[in-house]
């Protein structure tokens, strides 16, 4: 295992819409796509696109464009702009994917709260429908840049923007699961269900769970979404041999949960951190040959190696998103942070992300 080797920082320059919704202070997901970055924050229902100043060695990503998910798919919440708590984005083939946390939220005690009012607030648990999303958006080239569209003609067929159908709602599918069902009523920050991270490879979609962590084991769910030709705006899930619509893998992350997933050839890079409301430790693991798993896996020993130990702050600088940038023969990890430290802000529109070397 290596200690984090900071190669450089890059500037992420956000526009006024992203700043107004505080996306730049709550970065939860990132993925590279040629000379652009796709970025999400956990308090909106939008995806952001930033463009590199140099396709080979970018120092800054700017020209922020914001895309509302509700402009492409039907969201489950009554308010289309209600936060979706987007915790993962993935780019594969013709599509950009996004997943919500699917978790519940416990109200926080804030500085102005005290006594009985504070205790009542801490006892309140709420859910938001827009958090229960898995979305696939077609990507076209518009004015030279990858851009989400409602439909795309490619490979002799029409691909539509699509969201997971209500019949395959993940929380309902997990309601009878022997490992995960009892954690559904528990808020994500209390070791309840909390999806953080998505990776796509062929027809496989992997979802990383920050929680629950059971006896030190973290979970990754594997799905096989498809579009029913009769309902092109709806994703459905193929059943595996056991009749379930998902396959479970458990990973030995030394007690940590999954914060993000990122494909690396046939492997999966796993950004790992605490499932509870703690600062660290934070690490990158490599799940070897993850894309070839043909059955539920117990991922330990030689199947998973600890690659990098990341630094973290006290109450800030929580590594939440990980993408790969750089040439094919020397990929580096780009890390974005929730609650960035003050030193990461340059003016009111720039926040710094880290580029680190991978062993």
Residue-wise pLDDT tens digits, 312-323: 999 899 999 999
Q: Is the pLDDT of residue 44 over 80?
A: yes
d(CA 17, CA 283): 32
Q: What is the mean pLDDT of residues 57-80?
A: 93
Calculate ∠ Cα 320-324-330, nearest 5°. Answer: 140
State the average pLDDT for the chain: 94
CA 74 to chain CA mean position, Å: 20
Query: Of all residues in the chain, what percent carry a pLDDT higher than 70?
Result: 99
Taking only the tens place, the pLDDT of each residue in 194-225 is 999 999 999 999 999 999 999 999 999 999 99
User: What domains does the chain contain, in order, with CATH numbers?
Assistant: 2-357 (2.115.10)
Q: Is the pLDDT of residue 328 over 80?
A: no
Q: What is the mean pLDDT of residues 353-357?
A: 95
Tokens 């009769």 sit on residue: 230
Q: What is the mean pLDDT of residues 72-76?
A: 94
d(CA 239, CA 215): 28
Strand partners, 220: 208, 249
d(CA 350, CA 233): 36
Strand partners, 135: 98, 163
Query: Of all residues in the chain, what percent carry a pLDDT higher than 90?
Result: 81
Q: Is the pLDDT of residue 4 over 80?
A: no
């Amino acid at each position: 295992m290596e200690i984090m080797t900071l190669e450089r920082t890059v500037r992420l320059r956000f526009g006024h819409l992203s700043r107004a919704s505080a996306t730049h202070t709550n970065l939860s997901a990132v993925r590279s796509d040629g000379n652009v970055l796709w970025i999400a924050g956990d308090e909106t229902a939008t995806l952001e696109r930033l463009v590199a100043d140099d396709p080979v060695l970018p120092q800054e990503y700017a020209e922020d464009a914001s895309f509302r998910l509700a402009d492409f798919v039907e969201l489950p919440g009554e308010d289309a702009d209600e936060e979706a708590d987007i915790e993962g984005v993935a780019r594969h083939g013709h599509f950009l994917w996004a997943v919500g946390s699917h978790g519940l939220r416990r109200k926080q005690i804030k500085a102005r709260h005290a006594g009985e009012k504070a205790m009542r607030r801490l006892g309140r648990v709420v859910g938001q429908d827009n958090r229960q999303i898995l979305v696939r958006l077609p990507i076209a080239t518009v004015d030279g840049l990858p851009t989400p569209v409602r439909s795309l003609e490619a490979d002799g067929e029409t691909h539509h923007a699509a969201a997971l159908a209500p019949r395959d709602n993940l929380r309902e599918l997990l309601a009878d699961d022997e490992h995960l069902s009892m954690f559904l009523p528990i808020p994500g920050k209390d070791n309840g269900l909390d999806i953080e991270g998505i990776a796509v490879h062929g027809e496989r979609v992997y979802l990383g769970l920050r929680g629950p962590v059971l006896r030190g084991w973290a979970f990754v769910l594997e799905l096989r979404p498809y579009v029913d030709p009769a309902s092109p705006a709806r994703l459905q899930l193929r059943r595996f041999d056991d009749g379930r619509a998902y396959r479970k893998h458990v990973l030995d992350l030394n007690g940590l949960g999954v914060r993000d997933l990122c494909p690396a050839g046939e492997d999966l890079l796993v950004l790992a951190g605490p499932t509870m409301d703690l600062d660290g430790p934070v690490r990158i693991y490599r799940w070897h040959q993850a894309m070839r798993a043909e059955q539920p896996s117990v991922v330990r020993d030689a199947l998973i190696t600890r690659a990098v130990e990341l630094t973290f702050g006290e109450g800030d600088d929580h590594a939440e998103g990980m993408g790969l940038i750089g040439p094919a023969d020397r990929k580096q990890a780009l890390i974005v942070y929730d609650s960035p430290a003050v030193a990461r802000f340059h003016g009111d529109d720039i926040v710094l992300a880290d580029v680190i070397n991978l062993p």
